[in-house]
Amino acid sequence: MKHSTLLLISILISLAVASCSPEKSPPMPASHAAASSMKNAANTDYRTQMPYGSAPRNPDLGLPSNFSKSSGVTFSRVSVPGPYVALTFDDGPHASNTPRLLDILRARNVKATFYVIGKNVDLYPNIVRRTVAEGHELGNHTYTHPKLSALGQDRVFSEIRKCDDAIMRAAGVRPRTLRPPYGALTQAQRVSIHSTFGYPTIMWAVDPLDWKRPGVSVVTSRIVSATSNGSIILVHDLHASSVDAMPATIDALLRKGYKFVTVSQLLAMGGSASASINPQPSALAQSQVGE
């Protein structure tokens, strides 16, 4: 009887302990876990260790960025009195690639211009705040990345305003320039946007076609060989391979004597627009947002 009583007490204690133990949650699907980790990294802990301590550095320039609205409607390059170029990045912010790119730029004291998509700004506002805090410029790349040349004026203006508002919510600043997705904007639209918003349309003089993912060394080679004084360089920070190409690209241009400025600084320095370079139709048809 005593043995039975002890056995019963032991069983009851075991059941009580089990009922107090925390219930295990079902495992999160791998895709959801990756997305959760990526977003947390983007919005809370985006300052990663910089492995580029020995990189060449862009000089501290302290150049003005107030350009005249009358200087032009469309720019792909600017006539400048020296080896100044503007490095621009489209389609971000990206959860992991943009913070990594910011580390690369910070290690080299390079200031760039980021043409951000409004819906991505709403997803990753802390990345946008960091971008501004580290001295970079933000440009308007619309809210949803549509082909503006196929839209009516009301929808075009809505896309621009929604992107402006997203940037203001995230970082408390408003952009001063616009880059149309795919470069697709009619001359009449450019004039209308310039008149209404004061934004010049910023195209590009150097396009490595990095959205086709030709390889890191190819992206670097194309940019370095095509860059000249006053160039506006187009890259996409949503592609990991494009960000991978930036250390060698920037270092090579710095060693050639180029100095990096923001688009607004380039415009303020020169003030005269050259003929814009429109993307080829194949690029307009094939270029995509997202990985």
- Catalytic residues, by residue number, are 90, 236
Q: Are strands 84-90 and 74-75 parallel, antiparallel or unpaired?
A: unpaired
Specify which residues 87 forms β-bridges with: 233
DSSP string covering 136-175, please? -EEEE--SS---GGGS-HHHHHHHHHHHHHHHHHHHS---
Q: Are strands 232-236 and 84-90 parallel, antiparallel or unpaired?
A: parallel
d(CA 262, CA 137) in angstroms, rounded, equals 6
d(CA 222, CA 214) in angstroms, rounded, equals 10
Specify which residues 236 forms β-bridges with: 90
d(CA 7, CA 5) in angstroms, rounded, equals 5
Give the residue carrying structure tokens 């200087």: 71
d(CA 249, CA 235) in angstroms, rounded, equals 11
d(CA 209, CA 256) in angstroms, rounded, equals 22
Q: Dihedral sign, CA of 29, 30, 36, 40?
A: positive
Q: 83 near 257, Cβ under 8 Å?
A: yes
